């Protein structure tokens, strides 16, 4: 009778150990992705884009508008920052 309990106990320990190992490795494989829109400008000419990011790196830029050109007195008041 005690031998049966020992076998069940060892199987449970093995199962818990494998589960912990699996979940620890699964957490490392999780990638952070995000999608947002922004206007990208060069001088007075701008265009809207959908920006797709994966782990803080741009993986895709898709234009969603045509080009818009502002007058010479236009100033881009946005604070420059990273895309992702």
| 22 and 3 housed in the same domain | yes
What pLDDT was estimated at residue 16? 58
13 in any annotated domain: yes
| 60 and 39 housed in the same domain | yes
Query: CB neighbours of 4 closer than 8 A, spacing ≥ 6?
Result: none
What pLDDT was estimated at residue 46? 97
| 21 and 39 housed in the same domain | no
pLDDT tens digits, 21-59: 666 655 555 678 999 999 999 999 999 999 999 999 999
What number is the average pLDDT over the span 55-84?
Answer: 94
Residue-by-residue DSSP string for 17-29: HHHHHHHHHHHHT
Which one is predicted more confidently, 82 or 21?
82
- Evaluate whether 58 touches 46 at the Cβ level (below 8 Å): no
| Structural domain count of the chain | 2
pLDDT of residue 20 exceeding 90, the answer is: no
- Evaluate whether 48 touches 70 at the Cβ level (below 8 Å): no
Look up the domain containing 57 and give its range. Answer: 33-69
């Amino acid at each position: 009778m005690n031998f049966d309990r020992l076998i069940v106990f060892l199987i449970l320990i093995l199962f818990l150990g494998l589960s912990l190992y699996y979940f620890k490795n699964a957490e490392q494989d999780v990638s952070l992705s995000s999608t947002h829109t922004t206007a990208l400008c060069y001088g007075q000419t701008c265009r809207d884009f959908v920006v797709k990011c994966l782990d803080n790196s741009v993986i895709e830029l898709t234009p969603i508008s045509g080009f818009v050109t502002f007058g010479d007195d236009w100033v881009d008041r946005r604070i420059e920052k990273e895309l992702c």
